[in-house]
Each structure stands twice: as C-alpha cells, then as structure tokens.
Amino acid sequence: MSRFLDSVATGTNGITLVVNGIEANGPGVTASAIQSVKINQNPYTALYSRPGRARIEITTNGGTPQFHGSGNFLYRDSLFDARNTFALTKPSEQRTYYQGSLTGPLSRNKKTTFLLALNDDNNNQQAIVVAEGPNGTINANVPNPTHHYFLSGRVFHDYSDANQFWVGYSYEHRTVQNQGVGGTVLPEAGTNTMFAEHEINVGHTYVFSPKLLNQLHFLVGTNDNQVHNLIESPQLVVSGSFTGGGAQADFRRTEYHFDGSDIVTYSTGKHEIKFGIAWILQNKPFETHTIEMQQIRDRRRSCAVKEKSGTATNRRLPLYGWSVSETESRRQIMCDIMEVVLRVIADAYSDRKIGL
C-alpha cells in the first residue's frame, strides 16, 4: 500500500502503521478481518508523534452475535509458465495461498464473541544462477522457497451496549531459504532467514454519553529476526563473474515492546475534539556476529576470524521526546578494536606489505 503514500514522507522516517489507534508492526489480522483502511492526509496532526502523510490507519473487525466467515484461496503452478530464458531446464515452481476469518458468539446470551483469522502462504520458487566460475560456466536452478504463516484470535465481551472489553493474541512466522542467490551469486553465498513475532492486544471501549467516548488500547509483543550463512568461510567476489564463499551476513535482532494509548473523543455538532496520552516502550537487545579482518599477504596467510557479540538497549517515549541508549561491554569491544589496530600496524612495519 506504500504506493498510495507521499514519496517524500516515506523517504524520511518510513511508513507508520496504526492499527486501532496503536502503532504496530503489522495489521494483527488477515485481510478478510480488516474493516477499513485510511491514508491519513493531515501531516501535522497532534494525535500521533510522527508526520501523518506516511501513516496507514487500519480498523479491524470485531466479534458478531451471528456466525460469519470468509476465505480466499490461490494456487499457481509452473506448468502454465514459459521457460526462463536463462535456465537450461524449466524450474519446477508452485505457490499455494489461503487466508480467511471466522467470527461468531461464544455464549448463549451472545455477549461474548470471538474472531479467528488465519493466513498461510507457501511460495516454492527457484532462483536461476548464471555465472562464470574457475571451471567454466555455472548454470543451475536453486530452490528459493518462502513460507509465511499467520494466526490470530480475539475474544470480545460486551458488559453493556456502551461498555466492551476484548483481548487477542497473534503469531507470525516467516522463513526464506537461499535468499540472495541468483544471477552471479552462487548457492553457497546465500542466506537463510527467519522472522517470528508474538503479540498480545488488549482493548476497552466505554461510551459515557452520545458525545463522549473513551478508548483504551495497549499491546505487548516480542519478535526475533535471524539471518544465517549457509557456510562459514571467507567471501570471494569476482566482479562480473561470480560471488562465492560465505555470505558474511550472520545477524540476529530481538525486540520486546509495549505500546499503549488512552484517547478520549468529544463530539458536538460538526466538531470533534480528541485528547489523551500515548506511550511506547521498546527494549532492543541485539547480537551481531562475524566481526572479522582478513590479511592477504604474499604467503597467503590469514589471521583467525574473531566473533563478538554485544547487547544494547533502546527505550523510547516519543510522546515526551525522551530517548536513552545503553551499550554493555563497550570497554571490551574497544579493547578488541585497539588490539586489531595494533596488530595491523605491527605487521605493516614488519612485512612492509599488507592488504585488508
């Protein structure tokens, strides 16, 4: 949906997704469980902490006293595809996609309802490698499957016509194999990626009067993003011919976050006034791997590869403009960097020839 947003705004802070009044990483439900989508046209609204021209606001469906459901299915097979021009043999590819939602009552008085949403996407595609290696031309079809799974469930309870409480849980999992492979990039230089996220949403809506409405909503979530090399070895790049060896892209980032808001809306005639409070707490410990330096000399000797990991914490409260960053093991990392620098200088003076 980014094509509907202002290109200038998306190029600054990126796209902001707001679901039921809360900034989120995803919609939290499948497409069939979305009630409305709005592109905010007011870049200076005080309701949110960021400019609004790059903000997508989504409202999801609630529970219903009657059973309702919808579903979609997609199937694609390479049987109906033309042969890839760069492939010696036609790659075998297939994609299956289905998503749907179901809502209905959980109690006899129909004051407690539920909403279930499911999305599963299996895209078994292949990448075509066409490269010039040391032993001649390399032409191969490499599997590059992507699997995306999403599950969401919510329970709503109406204490009265003006008082509703709901709680929900969502789980998302996505994997990609042999990412980055294709063209002159050999299969060994690819990566496997994995992303997983858990979220718990809680909301409460209370109507004090036909003119006064209070909406409380908060979520707690955690996500894990990983990138793994297919092989652990130095990368070899011959421009225009091939890229082999390890991808040198080992990476892992985990995040724990809490978002909340309490918005009071007052309406009278053609006027609407909103006021309230919003807060965002994020804890982002991260790990980075394969910090390495390779020395190339006439004797083809290389130093050992070092691997370090660090932990950092970043907590933000955009509403008040407060930001604190803390880095642990900073002294140890600086000592390691100085050790490498001193070794490079010593080798440079001893051998008079060094390449990095």
CA torsion, ordered 196, 103, 120, 191, to nearest 10 deg: -20
The verdict on 296 and 152 lying in the same domain is no
Could you tell me where the DSSP H helices lie in the chain?
7-10, 330-351
Q: For the chain, how many structural domains are there in total? A: 2
The verdict on 107 and 243 lying in the same domain is yes
For residues 114-127, one letter each, b for 16 or more C-beta atoms within 10 angstroms of the residue's C-beta and e for the rest, the string is: bbbbbbebebbebb
- Among 274, 290, 306, identify where a domain stops: 290
So what's the pLDDT on residue 77? 93
Q: Are 209 and 191 in contact, with CB atoms under 8 Å apart?
A: no
The helix/strand/coil state of 78 is helix
Taking phi first (over 0 means left), then psi (-120 to 50 degrees means alpha), and beta for anything else, what does residue 249 get? alpha
So what's the pLDDT on residue 319? 38
The verdict on 241 and 297 lying in the same domain is no
Q: Is the pTM of this model over 0.85?
A: no
So what's the pLDDT on residue 61? 82
So what's the pLDDT on residue 294? 35
Q: What is the 3-state secondary structure (H, E, C) of 133-176?
A: ECCEEEEEEEEEEEEEEEEEEEEEEEEECCEEEEEEEEEEEEEE
Q: Measuring CA to CA, which residue among 64, 126, 60 is closest to residue 92?
A: 126
Structure tokens that stand for 301 in this block? 């000797």
The verdict on 300 and 179 lying in the same domain is no
The verdict on 204 and 353 lying in the same domain is no
Q: 209-255 pLDDT, tens per residue? A: 989 999 998 889 999 999 999 998 888 999 889 999 989 889 899 98
* 323 lies in some domain: yes
Q: Which residues of the chain have pLDDT under 70?
A: 1-14, 22, 41-54, 284-356
So what's the pLDDT on residue 32? 77
The verdict on 242 and 111 lying in the same domain is yes
CA distances for 304 relative to 1, 289, 307, 340, angstroms:
47, 14, 10, 11
* 279 lies in some domain: yes
For residues 324-354, one letter each, b for 16 or more C-beta atoms within 10 angstroms of the residue's C-beta and e for the rest, the string is: eeeeeeeeeeeeeeeeeeeeeeeeeeeeeee
The rounded radius of gyration (Å) of the Cα atoms in the chain is: 26
Residue 299 belongs to domain spanning: 291-356
So what's the pLDDT on residue 271? 86
The verdict on 257 and 268 lying in the same domain is yes
The verdict on 97 and 246 lying in the same domain is yes
- Among 233, 257, 290, identify where a domain stops: 290
* 50 lies in some domain: no
* 274 lies in some domain: yes
The verdict on 235 and 107 lying in the same domain is yes
* 20 lies in some domain: no
* Cα separation, 76 vs 96, whole angstroms: 7
* 39 lies in some domain: no
Question: Residue 96 gets which letter from DSSP?
Answer: E
So what's the pLDDT on residue 187? 92
The verdict on 149 and 255 lying in the same domain is yes
The verdict on 221 and 273 lying in the same domain is yes
Contacts 24+ apart (CB under 8 A), 154-159: 154/63, 154/114, 154/115, 154/116, 154/201, 155/63, 155/106, 155/112, 155/113, 155/114, 156/62, 156/63, 156/112, 156/113, 156/114, 156/115, 157/111, 157/112, 157/113, 158/111, 158/112, 158/113, 159/111
* 349 lies in some domain: yes
The verdict on 201 and 321 lying in the same domain is no
- Among 290, 324, 342, identify where a domain stops: 290
So what's the pLDDT on residue 288? 44
Query: How would you classify the pairing of strands 16-19 and 55-60?
Result: parallel
* 18 lies in some domain: no
